[in-house]
Amino acid sequence: MKLTLGFSPCPNDTFIFDALIHNKIDTEGLTFDVIFDDVETLNQKALNGVLDITKLSFHAFAYVANQYALLDAGSALGFGVGPLLISKNKFEGDLNPDLKVGIPGKYTTANFLLGIAYPQLQHKEIMVFSEIESALLEEKIDLGLIIHENRFTYQDKGLNKIVDLGDYWEKLTGCAIPLGGIVINRNLDREIQLKVNRLVRQSVEYAFAHPKSCIEFIRQHAQEMDEAVMYKHIELYVNKYSINLGNEGRKAIDTLFNLAQARNLIPAVQQNLYI
């Protein structure tokens, strides 16, 4: 059986899925048609129900939970992994509502956290996450909301951190920050859903046991990223929650959804979130 599978070309995702899509583990009769896209494009595809299995932001998941269920394996949660709000010029005091913010997507968890911390910032421009630093340097935007490997590169470009929104979330809730997860279409047979969850977990475990085995695949899609940055990226976003959410991971996700619903930032979710 062939299933469509969408994930990003970022090192954490290629690390997680390398063993699965390159038959380094027994895929139990399943094959995968892989689609690489940035996170917001994947969010949009999830909103349209395009893929059988996909990575998506937890913010976007709130809008598609009736169609997709969250796997226990493959998620990106953790401490010290949140998005950063940065700028070219230094700002002091409250941020002016007129400031223009480059964001990596309307439905990203990063944008959700920005809405909690700075509800006055409504002048937003959606951009590919990798273009935000350049837009700041060229003064096309006043503030930038960065994710992924840009956490490790913005200072080298002379840009300034205003706030770590992951740290903000941790102080607010005491939970790990839920960034993205792997969901599967609820129309697929329950047996297939459980099998995919099992295979994604085995793929993550294989990557942890053989970290050098996927380096060429990661490098191929990371393009010009320095190898040290690639591994920092993986260490930050792939951890015990990527193997299995467990009670702590589920609590963090439930807290995110409950808080967002209480503030009317997402619609009420009636479905059980998990497979």
Q: Is 221 a catalytic residue?
A: no
Sign of dihedral through CA atoms 54, 60, 63, 69? positive
Tokens of 201: 């977990």
- Whether residue 56 is annotated as binding a ligand: the answer is yes
- Percentage helix, strand, coil for the chain under 3-state DSSP, each rounded to 5: 45, 20, 35
- Whether residue 109 is annotated as binding a ligand: the answer is yes
H-type helices in 103-245, by residue range? 109-117, 132-137, 165-173, 190-209, 215-222, 227-237, 240-243
- Whether residue 57 is annotated as binding a ligand: the answer is yes
Burial environment of residue 44 by CB neighbours within 10 A (0 to 12, 13 to 18, 19 or more): middle
Q: What single DSSP character describes residue 95? A: P
Tokens of 207: 């990557």
Q: How would DSSP label each residue in 197-235? A: HHHHHHHHHHHHHSTTTTHHHHHHHHTT--HHHHHHHHH
Instruction: Choose the catalytic residue: 22, 123, 148, 221.
Output: 148
**Cβ(39)–Cβ(105) under 8 Å?**
yes
- Whether residue 134 is annotated as binding a ligand: the answer is no
Q: Which residues are annotated as a binding site?
A: 55-57, 109-110
Which residues are marked as active site?
A: 148
Q: Which residues are annotated as a binding site for substrate?
A: 55-57, 109-110
